[in-house]
Amino acid sequence: MILTRYKKGCVLFLWICLGIVVGLTGCAGQGIHGRGTVAARDQASATFFSRLDNLVAQYGVRDAYRFPVKGFPYLRTDRFLEGMQKHLQSPEQRHYWIEQMRLMDLESRRREIDNLPKVALMGLADPGEPVPVSDAVYAMAERFSLQMLADDQNDEGYFQRVEKAATVPDEYSTAMRFLGLYPLAAFPVSIGTAHAYEKYRRWHATPPGDLPVVGRLLRYGPRRDYRQYNRQDLKRLFPSTARDPFGLPQWTGEEVRLLAEIFAPVITQDVVAGYDSFGAVAWKNGQVSIDHDRPTVYYYVTYAFFQTMPVAQINYAIWYSERAGKNAPAIERGPLDGLTLRLTFDRQGAVVMADVMNNCGCYHFFIPRKERVERVIIRDNDFEPLVPAWLPAAVPQSRVDLRVNSGWHQVQHVGAVDPGGFEGFFYSLRPYAVLESLPVSDGRNASVFSAEGIMKDSKRIEPYLFFSMGIPKVGYMRQRGHHAIKMVGREHFTNPHLFDRNFIFVLRSG
């Protein structure tokens, strides 16, 4: 049994934790862009990035979505690019890998600059510039980024140093687990997890018409003027040629929007009160709020590996004003809540996997396409992957339909809806990135997430109860890239090997 296998590793884990914590105490922390051993750099470039980083830290506006590469202030990475290191086979791929990290850094710096007060930027830009100060500072970031890259590439061993430094920190704290006696504390959490898994399996095995309804079921779908599934659109989005050096499609912003429209889901929501109406995220009186009158779904693209090959994913996130009501466990109630649906495509553009989580990272489960799975991988001392349902065969010609319960906001059933026959309310699609630099009423911009990747004004009592699980602020809503999806064990939503780690897929050519 799962719990029996789990107990076997407890003593070994305690000794491993002790060794790791002792090792960690000997590691002196450095700044997020601490200087490594690199070639001589243009002094103006180094000074600019140092001053900009200091301002970002001073005002607490660091964009936590991507992760700085220590020693290279013009690079940031994520778990997919970290995972790509073992797949780099040519100089072209290595240069492209570096360039993607440079562009990630510029993307984050654009948001950080936009979120800094204008007065803070005045000391960085030339006062004679005819453009807004934020645009002037960003133009400097672009220029100095290229300058520093050119300087560093002259140094022997540059790529090896970047590869060593381009790592993503764990969302789990080994020190917290050690101090909280994790192996002992995890045992009751394991029992609770097993019960939750069984509840999910029962929900998804129940015909949707037999699921309990506390309030009234309201159905939300993408607007009628959004693009629906079309085979020619899919061929254009997933061409057999004209791909990047990783073999991935090279999409424009308009093409990402098209992809998001084609696969946008339907949400069938049990509504009791305002906390069940997902909406647009906005600033109100200096706090993060949800505008129930503007149903909105936020989308973004990510990448992972499927059968060891890089593939694309589209993510859809919705946000509620709170987790509340009689369905929600008392310890999980609190302001702000949300869900994320992710669809993963193979190289030809077929949807091979869907998975869902709450936006705290909890209650994650898989919805694979049944004919693509040979078997589920079950490991000793671990829970088997939660697969309560299979992806409906009608997808993508029909839209994924998520049945969500009231208050707790858990997905109880996954179905499919013919887009031509949809009746209900309509939501708008917006890029997720707007949340990371959202206009405030006084004309400023601010991210709704903290520099640690936690949604501002999100609160729970769970950290006091589950400190030993090693997830800082467990239960709080989190920014993309920061979702730990297991309390017992370690796993991340953005682990690019998540699917290959949990499934053996049917081999197909092409």
Residue with tokens 């979702």, as numbered in its chain: 483
Same domain, 198 and 304: yes
Given 125, 142, 165, the domain boundary residue is: 165
Residue-level pLDDT, tens digit, the chain, 510 residues:
444 444 444 444 444 444 444 344 333 333 445 444 446 899 999 999 999 999 999 999 999 999 999 999 999 999 999 999 999 999 999 999 999 999 999 999 999 999 999 999 998 987 777 778 999 999 999 999 999 999 999 999 999 999 999 999 999 999 999 999 999 999 999 999 999 999 999 999 999 999 999 999 999 999 989 999 999 999 999 998 879 999 999 999 999 999 999 999 999 999 999 999 999 999 999 999 999 999 999 999 999 999 999 999 999 999 999 999 999 999 999 999 999 999 999 999 999 999 999 999 999 999 999 999 999 999 888 899 999 999 999 999 999 999 999 999 999 999 999 887 788 999 999 999 999 999 997 788 999 999 999 999 999 999 999 999 999 999 999 999 999 999 999 999 999 999 999 999 998 754
Give the helix ranges, DSSP H, for 366-502. Answer: 462-465, 498-502
pTM of the model: 0.92
Decide if 330 contacts 219 (C-beta within 8 A): no
Given 165, 199, 214, the domain boundary residue is: 165
Res 509: pLDDT: 56
* Cα–Cα distance for residue pair 177/182, rounded to 1 Å: 5
Same domain, 221 and 85: no
> What residue ranges in 259-410 does DSSP mark as E strands?
266-271, 280-284, 287-291, 296-306, 309-323, 334-345, 351-358, 365-368, 373-376, 399-404
Determine the structural domain holding residue 326 and report its residue range.
Answer: 174-505
Same domain, 293 and 144: no
Same domain, 430 and 359: yes
Res 10: pLDDT: 45
Report if residue 159 sits inside a domain.
yes
Given 165, 198, 232, the domain boundary residue is: 165
Report if residue 22 sits inside a domain.
no
Same domain, 291 and 353: yes
Same domain, 201 and 302: yes
Same domain, 268 and 309: yes
Same domain, 433 and 458: yes
Same domain, 353 and 405: yes
Same domain, 154 and 250: no
Q: How many domains does the chain have?
A: 2
Report if residue 32 sits inside a domain.
no
Residue with tokens 């004003």, as numbered in its chain: 321
Same domain, 195 and 277: yes
The CB density around residue 308, as the number of other CB atoms within 10 Å, is: 9
Report if residue 10 sits inside a domain.
no
Res 39: pLDDT: 61
CA dist 231 to 155, 163, 313, 326, 487, Å? 48, 39, 18, 44, 41
Same domain, 62 and 134: yes
Res 339: pLDDT: 98
Report if residue 488 sits inside a domain.
yes
Report if residue 313 sits inside a domain.
yes
